[in-house]
Structure 1
Amino acid sequence: MMSEYDLPLVISSFLVAVLAAYAALYFGARLANANGGARRRWLASGALLMGTGVWTMHFVGMRAMPMDVAMTFDVLMTAISWFAAVLASGVALHIIGRNRLGMLLFGGATLSMAGGIVVMHYLGMYAMRMSAPPTFNIGFLIGSVAIAVVASGAALALCRKLQHMNGPGSLAIQFVAALVMAGAICGMHYTGMMAMIFPEGAVPAADNGLRGEWMGIPLAVFCIALLAVALVVTVVDVKHQRELASFKEEEDKRVAELAFTDAVTGLPNRSALEQRLLDILARDNAGGNPFALIYLDIANFRELSTGMGDESLNAVIREISAALRDQMSDQTFLARYSASAFFALVPDPEDSQHAFMYKRLRQIDQRIGTSAMPVTWRAGQSTYPVTGNSTRKLVLAAMVPRDLNEIGHFRNMAPGPELVLPGHNRHS
């Protein structure tokens, strides 16, 4: 009867089973994203932890069973029972860690693990080499095998499910799964112990080399320590994986930003401007959100850059772009379009908030320059939807030169049949 069992040892056996199940679930789940040497390490670790944990749970549970004589075990049979548990766990985790898994392979993994547990359990009991052969309760025997199969199938299914989960939530689910697995493992063990009955008065073989005292609390403590180390490894690994994921996210963000950022000035670049225009034009109510494009080009850029090295020229461009930024109103999107040109995208261009910006831009020749040489500006503008309804038309219209005094005056804006820049062929 369970009431006769040593309760501390029963609790210890369950604790070992929980830790073994938790560690094995985690290590098994890591197989999905591991390759080469890393996969072999996770597989070996998972098999060792799960097999050793289930094996330890079995012998600690056996020590919890009351006996009138000292419990001893045959060393070779005990070692083989441990190897059977580890090997079966390894085969099962190897199969379950595959990218694609059909029902046939899943069934094979389940039977492999269940078979290893059953062999380990009954071989471990036979390792006592009693003076009289055991008898079996067929009902409990079949029940123990059935529990091993169901428990193994559930464990591997949970392991498979956890392979596709990330984040703190997966760890909580993994812990609940470990509790369920541990209950099933312990259920199989104690059912199996009731299935195999030794006659009253039977004693272990005198030449058994392994004393039972080492198979109780000392073994449980050792295994718990081993599993605790493994769990620390999993915690470190989780932290490392999160750091890698965070670094990758930041790196992807940085790369994306670089793709849309001018390296010299830090302003949005041509791609960023075109993307912003496409986003606006793609809105359902785009026609109800007018905007203007103001083109600002350094007309004497060639003369300005003559004789300058790259660093000196970049410093001048940064100085000019900073001054240009200062002229913009709060809602204006300023981008560097080319080496010498900038575009300002102005939302709701008729709004009075932009009045001072237009006034400053009309005086841009006097406001923005360099100490080495005055800067001469060429400007143009277009408006949506009056001038055009596509990115190409709006940009080309804005690049048609206009008098600086026309900046910000949109009343006379009109679409052209086909806008062509000076020096460009109409059909090019």
Structure 2
Amino acid sequence: MNNYDPALLVASFVVAVMAAYAALFFGARLHGASDETRWRWLAAGALLMGTGIWTMHFVGMRAMPSDVPLAFDGALTTISWLAAVLASGVALKMIGRDQLGAKLFAGAAVAMAASIVVMHYLGMYALRMSAPPEFHTGFLVLSMAIALGASAAALALCRILQKTEGQKALVLQFVAAIVMAVAICGMHYTGMMAMTFPEGAVPAAGNALRGEWMGIPLAMFCSVLLASALAVTTLDIKQQRKRAEAREQEQQRVAELAFIDSATGLPNRSGLEQNLLDILARQDARNHPFALIYLDIANFRELSARMGEESLVAVINEVTESLKEHLSEDALLARYAAGTFFILVPDNQDARHAFMYKRLRQLDKRIGTEAMPITWRAGQSAFPVTGNSTRKLIRAAMVPRDLAEIGRFTNMAADPELVLPGQQRYS
């Protein structure tokens, strides 16, 4: 290749890299895409990848040394472009399948390689010289083998990339594109050595495409086309991801609202029960005792009758904030009903909760004013002493007790009235 045009050689390799990158890029997008999106990615990918490979071949042919100005037959050149697009479409469609067995993989590689070979030699025939071409059997077979290897490598690399995400995927995609580009260029220049024209042959007078347009101008046009398409597609993917993330966040917010009290922001009844279920589902649940403390505003109906809705919500929020100030750091406060709260206390016998229990016993004095007195009903249950299910523990906690008993668990026992059929009774 000492007499080849260096600038055109470099240009052909750059176009090959961009075409290979486009193939990998669109191949990865096809995996898991919806039917409508899949056909859009497939059409765009086949067009861009096929045009890129086709451009690389013609720029490469323009790089070879020639004593006469080159010209190409318009029909054969167009057919060779269609073959490249078809090869790319077949490859991308196979890449995008969720399952690709060995036989189908081999068939896809052969189909893609055949289309590339057809594209290359049609492009060579598109020169339409005054003398027929001469073939070198060894290089011909080698070029076909390289085409097959490049096709198999492209399919395999795309399948690997479909399972890779983040920065690693970008690096791997770029490296893979270079490997594919080397294989594509290897096939092309081997194919050019396999098919040569006799010395003194000149292009046919009827060739419509002038050779000067098939070198740097074509390479520049294709490079801009590929770069623009990839840039636009990248932006589109980012926007789609943002929309998907926004939908996911909204769905998560809606799901969370099902477990959150809208007025106070505390876990609601469902939120409390879910927390209890999570604790009880642990394999070592019995090694992690906890207590439920029930606090109910006994005069809630009276307060609601005297106040408007906004004022009542404001009072509930004030009560909520006051209760939070009374709690240990790891205790969970939940609003179970309009005027009812539960406190979930992990490791309830630990001394760290002593100050919280002391303050809770004084709730009647600590929360409320003379103008707005608040009286409390209280109760408590402890796992596993008074129950071993969510329903049992909540029901046991709602049995009224004196405020002075809050936090005192030494004499607690299961209430036989609350033991459900088939459950073990604890004493």
Same fold (TM over 0.5): yes
> Judging changes above 3 Å, is the alpha-carbon distance between structure 1 residues 378 and 86 closer, same or farther for their aligned structure 2 residues?
same
- Counterpart of 1:143 in structure 2 is 142
Whether the 8 Å CA contact 2:26–2:92 is kept in 1: the answer is no
- Counterpart of 1:423 in structure 2 is none
- Counterpart of 2:290 in structure 1 is 291
Q: Deviations over 1:351-397 (max 9, x none)?
A: 34333322222221232237874222110012233323333332222
Q: How many residues align?
A: 420
1:27-426 equivalent positions in 2, closer than 5 A: 27-244=26-243, 246-306=245-305, 310-369=309-368, 373-419=372-418
Q: Deviations over 1:28-70 (max 9, x none)?
A: 2212233344323211110111111111000111111101111
Tell me the CA shift for residue 265 of structure 1.
0.9
Aligned residues: percent identity? 69
Q: Deviations over 1:77-109 (max 9, x none)?
A: 112211221122223323432334444443443
Tell me the CA shift for residue 73 of structure 1.
1.0
CA distance in 1, matches of 2:282, 2:367: 36
Whether the 8 Å CA contact 1:316–1:370 is kept in 2: the answer is no
Q: Which moved further from structure 2: 374-383 or 165-174?
A: 165-174
For structure 2, the residue ranges without an aligned partner over 5 or more in a row are: 420-427
Q: Deviations over 1:149-206 (max 9, x none)?
A: 2211221232233334332222222112111111111111011001002111111112
1:297 partner SS: strand
Provide the alpha-carbon RMSD of the alignment. Answer: 2.3
Q: Which moved further from structure 2: 350-359 or 376-385?
A: 350-359
- The residue type paired with residue 173 of structure 1 is L
CA distance in 2, matches of 1:248, 1:164: 24
Whether the 8 Å CA contact 1:56–1:219 is kept in 2: the answer is yes
- The residue type paired with residue 321 of structure 1 is T
> Judging changes above 3 Å, is the alpha-carbon distance between structure 1 residues 279 and 35 closer, same or farther for their aligned structure 2 residues?
closer
- The residue type paired with residue 11 of structure 2 is S
For structure 1, the residue ranges without an aligned partner over 5 or more in a row are: 421-428
CA distance in 1, matches of 2:163, 2:140: 36
Whether the 8 Å CA contact 2:27–2:96 is kept in 1: the answer is yes
Q: Which moved further from structure 2: 401-410 or 158-167?
A: 158-167
- Counterpart of 2:424 in structure 1 is none
Tell me the CA shift for residue 309 of structure 1.
5.0
- The residue type paired with residue 20 of structure 2 is A
> Judging changes above 3 Å, is the alpha-carbon distance between structure 1 residues 354 and 214 closer, same or farther for their aligned structure 2 residues?
same
CA distance in 2, matches of 1:336, 1:159: 52
CA distance in 2, matches of 1:70, 1:346: 89
Tell me the CA shift for residue 241 of structure 1.
4.7
1:129 partner SS: coil
- The residue type paired with residue 260 of structure 1 is F
> Judging changes above 3 Å, is the alpha-carbon distance between structure 1 residues 400 and 98 closer, same or farther for their aligned structure 2 residues?
same
- Counterpart of 1:10 in structure 2 is 9
- Counterpart of 1:426 in structure 2 is none
Q: Deviations over 1:126-170 (max 9, x none)?
A: 111111101111111111112112211221232233334332222
CA distance in 1, matches of 2:201, 2:414: 106
Q: Which moved further from structure 2: 170-179 or 302-311?
A: 302-311
CA distance in 2, matches of 1:370, 1:34: 62
Q: Which moved further from structure 2: 42-51 or 302-311?
A: 302-311
> Judging changes above 3 Å, is the alpha-carbon distance between structure 1 residues 202 and 286 closer, same or farther for their aligned structure 2 residues?
same
Whether the 8 Å CA contact 1:26–1:234 is kept in 2: the answer is no
CA distance in 2, matches of 1:364, 1:142: 92
1:3 partner SS: coil
1:293 partner SS: strand
- The residue type paired with residue 398 of structure 1 is A
CA distance in 1, matches of 2:26, 2:396: 62
CA distance in 2, matches of 1:371, 1:223: 83
Whether the 8 Å CA contact 1:148–1:184 is kept in 2: the answer is yes
Tell me the CA shift for residue 245 of structure 1.
5.1
CA distance in 2, matches of 1:313, 1:281: 35
Whether the 8 Å CA contact 2:30–2:38 is kept in 1: the answer is yes
> Judging changes above 3 Å, is the alpha-carbon distance between structure 1 residues 229 and 154 closer, same or farther for their aligned structure 2 residues?
same
Tell me the CA shift for residue 238 of structure 1.
4.5
1:70 partner SS: coil
- The residue type paired with residue 401 of structure 1 is P
CA distance in 1, matches of 2:371, 2:124: 95
Whether the 8 Å CA contact 2:32–2:98 is kept in 1: the answer is no
- Counterpart of 2:425 in structure 1 is none
TM-score under structure 2 length normalisation:
0.91
- Counterpart of 1:21 in structure 2 is 20
TM-score under structure 1 length normalisation:
0.91
